Structures are given as structure tokens and as C-alpha cells.
Amino acid sequence: MLRDEINNSLKDAMKGGDARRVSTLRLVNSTLKNADIEARGQGKPALTDDDVLGVLQKMIKQRHESAELYEKGGRADLVTQEREEIAIIEKYLPKQLTDQEIHDTIVALVKETGASAMKDMGRGQARLRQSERRSEEDIERGVAISRASRRGLRSCRQQPRCCPSISVRRPR
């Protein structure tokens, strides 16, 4: 489980004397415990790994916003601290696909699903979201997936050898 991984990393950081890592991981544990208490108050079960990922993403987003504000305020020391915390927390999130990997995956999905027009794009996006677990919570990533889907479908239209199932519309 993801929580066990975080706790083991906390123990290792304590043994290694890494104060920033210890502080950040304690903060993560505290936030997860608060989320558990909130869920229990609403009659929900303890957080699943997917819920934990959502909490971690929220923490990263908060730190990005804080770093931006600190940067505007001229507080370079706090900006550095926030970015270090972001780097520590991001280690527990699944690796995001690059734009090229998204494009390659979309081209493969277009071939697999037989998508032939923009109206078929939803099926491919749903399959891509399944392969990238956190993209549903990450609106910006969803926009990137949508754009990449359109580009992938266009490139498949322009290169009929790439995806023979896609019909190429000719202007009248």
C-alpha cells in the first residue's frame, strides 16, 4: 500500500537524518490522517490508494500555489522549501506520461478502437485515462489528453498508412 511506502520512507529519512524529508512525510501522514477522520465522520471507509493519490495531488497543488505567491513576495527561501516538498511528495505519485507517450498511446488506441472521427474520441480518452490513473483529478492533464487526442486523430487522418481505419475527408 502507498501509506506503508510513505511510512517506510519516513523511517528511512529519520535514520538518515534528512530533516526536510522527515518534516514533509510527517506532514503527509498528518494530512492523510485528517482525511481519514473526515471520511469516517461522513460514514465512509478509510482512504484507498486512489484517495491517497488525490490527497497527494492536492498537497502538490497547494505547494505550487504557495511557491508562486512566495516568489511574488520575494521569499526565495520559502520558494525553495515548497519546491523541495513538491519533489518529495511527487515521488509517491505514478509517473505521468509525456506528450509523446500520450500521442503514441492515442495512435495505438485509434487503431485498436477503430475510431474514425472526432465523435469517437471519447472512447480513446476513456481508455487513456484508465492507463493514467490520476488524470481524472488533474484537469490540466485532461486538457492535454484531449488536445493530444485531437492531434493524434488528425495525424492519423493525414497519414492513412498509420491508421487505415480512418477515412480521410476530401474537400468538395
> Do 44 and 112 sit in the same domain of this protein?
no
Q: What is the pLDDT of residues 32-58, one digit of tens each?
A: 999 999 999 999 888 888 899 999 999
What is the extent of the structural domain holding 122? 99-158
How buried is 57 (Cβ within 10 angstroms: 0-12 exposed, 13-18 middle, 19+ buried)?
middle
Q: State the DSSP H helix or E strand holding residue 74, giving kind and residue range, or none if neither.
A: none
How many C-beta atoms lie closer than 10 Å to residue 41's C-beta?
8
Please indicate, yes or no, if residue 164 is contained in any of the structural domains. no
Please indicate, yes or no, if residue 170 is contained in any of the structural domains. no
pTM beyond 0.85: the answer is no
> Do 86 and 105 sit in the same domain of this protein?
no
Do residues 104 and 149 touch, judged by C-beta distance below 8 A? Answer: no
Average pLDDT over the chain reads: 79
171 Cβ contact list (under 8 Å, min separation 6): none
Q: What is the pLDDT of residues 101-125, one digit of tens each?
A: 777 777 777 777 776 666 666 766 6
Rounded to 5, what percent of the chain is helix, strand, coil? 75, 0, 25
User: Which of 38, 55, 90 lies at the terminal end of a domain, its last residue?
Assistant: 90
